[in-house]
Amino acid sequence: MSWADALRKAKEQEPSAEVKPVRVCMVTPSVDPIDRQLTMAESQSVDVHLPEYQKGLLILDANAIIKGMDNFVSRADAFVTTKQVISEVRDRAARDLLERLPHAVTVLDPTQPSISAVITCAEKTGDLGVLSRTDIRVCALALDCCTKAGVLNPPIDPKSAVVNATSNSKVVTEEKDEDEYNAEGRSDGDSEGESAEAEDDEGEWITPENIHQVKEAVGLSGDPFSGGMACATSDFAMQNTLLHLGVPIIGTSGMRIRELRLWLLRCTACFKIVMDTTRQFCPDCGGGNTLRRVNYVVNSNGEKQLFINFEKRISKRGTVYNLPKPRGGKNGTHRTLVLREDQLAQVLRHRSGTAMKEKETRLTEEEELAAFGEPEKKTKRNLGQPKTVSSYHKYNVNEMRKARAGRRK
């Protein structure tokens, strides 16, 4: 018997040791779909428990606290908001306002069904691209509160465009008629005479009799808050989404929208119509800073009618400078330069690997430390999220900058 056969026979006679299962961590580089429904509503939050109130209850947004809400504080005795809104209030005046409130602010978390309803409605209205994660949570909390209190108005479903395979769907743009252009192109003498008459008409005093006309002219009209339940915000995108959901709203200083609107994106380079307002790049030409929000309506024939301001000049700021000089290294231009959507794959490829494994290990350690009451470590940016914005800067990236002098001792 050779020494190899003897060694094999000895191994067969040894008791087999138990093999430990290998722990495999799957790392997903991006978890966008609205951050996986806002991290599944903070791990499936429970039902919303409203505080007791007699006059009224307000769901507060950050801009309602920052801009001041003294005009309707006396008509509400309960205030509700999210923890993300409290973290956004940082300036001294807004903090003093929170401390001066006669009633404490209750911090609640929205439920998962309400977050899904807000995201679905914002996708239909085209407001999802301009709503932040905090705005979505505040809208969902307002929907929860109004649903539980039974003060929810009938929702308004946005009218969708009819697209048939046999007939082409026309997109009509709003342009000026010839009469309007002729009215603008009149002689200088007529314009000077009208300007003189306009100067005579100007200079009216604002009195209690005509103050409502002035407010309507500047867009500050709206019913005052007289009690009940409403969401206090001056964000027009949030107000548009909440009114479609049937949630009562009030605006700080009377800033309230007067009509519901639908939005889409239009590429100023290839004139492509994009319904997904969360996109940063045109799906047709791949342009980075060419998508603009455009208001539209759906007529009785199911056609989209766009309202485009052709007189508004497209800003070329950031596109008149040369691209940054090529450089290598950890933060080189080949890792950060994103001018077209297909370059995201290259940027995402550099985000995977060692950095993602270190991030996964760090998150596991933070979860273990959180069990002992230690705070989690804050990171500046999520390595798993690729750069989804264009790299066109609003300044000259190649200009010489003054180096910061060292501290003198």
Binding region for Zn(2+): 267, 270, 282, 285
Q: Residues near 87 by Cβ (< 8 Å), separated by ≥ 6?
A: none
Nearest-angstrom CA–CA distance, 381 and 344: 17
Nearest-angstrom CA–CA distance, 38 and 137: 8
Nearest-angstrom CA–CA distance, 218 and 213: 9
CA angle 127, 128, 134 (to 5 degrees): 110
Contact yes or no for 68/252 (Cβ under 8 A): yes
Task: State whether the Cα torsion 178-179-181-185 is positive or negative.
Answer: positive
Phi-psi domain of 54 (left: phi exceeds 0; alpha: psi -120 through 50; beta: other):
alpha
Contact yes or no for 97/65 (Cβ under 8 A): yes
- Which two structure tokens, joined as six digits, stand for 345? 């794959």
Phi, psi angle pair for 372, to nearest 5°: -100, 10
Distance of CA 37 to the CA centre of its chain: 14
Nearest-angstrom CA–CA distance, 351 and 36: 20
Distances (CA, A) of 245 to 53, 61, 238, 242: 23, 17, 11, 5
Q: How many CB atoms within 10 Å of residue 396?
A: 13
- Which two structure tokens, joined as six digits, stand for 185? 């192109």
Q: Which residues are annotated as a binding site?
A: 267, 270, 282, 285
